[in-house]
A and B are shown apart, each in its own frame.
Chain A
Amino acid sequence: MAKKYHGGKMGVNFDGFLELSRKIDEMGEGLLKQATENALNASKNYVNREVEDAMIASRFAFEGGARSDAKNKPASGRALASVREVAQKPVEWNGNVATAYIAGDLEKSPEIVILTSQGNPHIKPDNRLKNAVKVKGAVRKEVNRIQQEEFTKILKEGMKNG
């Protein structure tokens, strides 16, 4: 039995999603599923890249060396390895529901959220990492743009094919 995943997930949601979905669905069987899968693949790849880049740039030194907040506790690289592992997971379908996995497995790398993306009264969160892990701010805007673009591509192809 597959081990349970405790981490970030994302779906498809952007302005005009319902309208575009309806049009694509009317064009032919399987096209909506294809659009959803393309949108999730492209946007999860973007988010996972953002998370990884934010971790590499982070003051918390995820790649190794001592963390500024926890002297004498060298980072093991476990969190970054988990993000890279999760980034390889394909989009999964369970009936009509598709899920994309993002931002690492919290069971293997709880420090991503606890130490950095959440912050606490005495530790300022790493905003770039927080927005990447939680798909907020500029990351949310780009995800919306990517997903809308993938749906529009399928719509245009469907119209071309008639």
Chain B
Amino acid sequence: MVEIYNDLAELKIPVYAEGDAPAELPDQYFTFNEDYTSGGVFADNGEKTVVYEFALKYYTKDASTIYSTLGAALALLKSKGYITTGVGYANPTYRDTWFSRQADVKKIEYTGG
């Protein structure tokens, strides 16, 4: 089971599903969206792996943390078996208050089905 909330918990920064963040937002937080999920490897009429594709976004009022915190999140996710590439890319500032940067991450789950 892929649980990106728990997998980012060590950073002690709130994580919300994109679109479901509370009205009052903290100084920094992550959002994620599950963009696409599909079968990866098939054999013997069964699905052996499932590929989850997420968009992870980091929002902060402190622009100086934008690269380092997203980088830390990507490193943490990589250590937990996620596929991450690069240093992310730009995301629009939210409500002229939170600077933001995003990255695409994938997780392959072995179902053995």
Q: How many residues of B contact A (CB 8 A)?
A: 21
Cα-based distance from A75 to B60 in the complex (angstroms)? 31
By a CB distance below 8 angstroms, the chain A residues around B94 are: 120-121
> Is A152 in the interface zone, CB < 8 Å from B?
no
Known pairs A136-B36, A137-B36, A138-B38; A124 contacts B19 (CB<8 A): yes
Known pairs A119-B19, A136-B53, A137-B38; A124 contacts B92 (CB<8 A): no
Interface string of B8-25 (1 = CB under 8 A from A): 000000001111110101
- Of the candidates B19, B20, B35, which one forms a contact with A130 in the assembled complex, judged by CB atoms under 8 Å apart? B35
Closest to B30 in A: A121
Minimum C-beta distance from B94 to chain A (A): 6
Cα-based distance from A119 to B100 in the complex (angstroms)? 13
Minimum C-beta distance from B16 to chain A (A): 6
Q: How many residues of A contact B (CB 8 A)?
A: 16
Which residues A79-112 have CB closer than 8 A to chain B? none
By a CB distance below 8 angstroms, the chain A residues around B59 are: 121
Which residues B73-108 have CB closer than 8 A to chain A? 91-92, 94
**Contacting pair A137 B35 (CB below 8 A):** yes
By a CB distance below 8 angstroms, the chain A residues around B92 are: 114, 118, 120
**Contacting pair A121 B36 (CB below 8 A):** no
Interface string of A112-139 (1 = CB under 8 A from B): 0010001111111101001100001110
Minimum C-beta distance from A2 to chain B (A): 27
> Is B29 in the interface zone, CB < 8 Å from A?
yes
**Contacting pair A127 B35 (CB below 8 A):** yes
Chain B residues within 8 Å of A, Cβ to Cβ: 16-21, 23, 25, 29, 31, 33-36, 38, 53, 55, 59, 91-92, 94
CB-based closest 7 A-B pairs: A124-B19, A137-B36, A121-B21, A119-B18, A121-B31, A123-B19, A120-B94
Q: List 30 A-B contacts (CB under 8 A).
A: A118-B91, A118-B92, A119-B18, A119-B19, A119-B31, A119-B33, A120-B92, A121-B16, A121-B18, A121-B19, A121-B29, A121-B59, A121-B94, A122-B19, A122-B21, A122-B23, A123-B18, A124-B17, A124-B18, A124-B19, A124-B20, A124-B33, A125-B19, A125-B33, A127-B33, A127-B34, A131-B35, A136-B35, A136-B36, A137-B53
Chain A residues within 8 Å of B, Cβ to Cβ: 114, 118-125, 127, 130-131, 136-138, 141
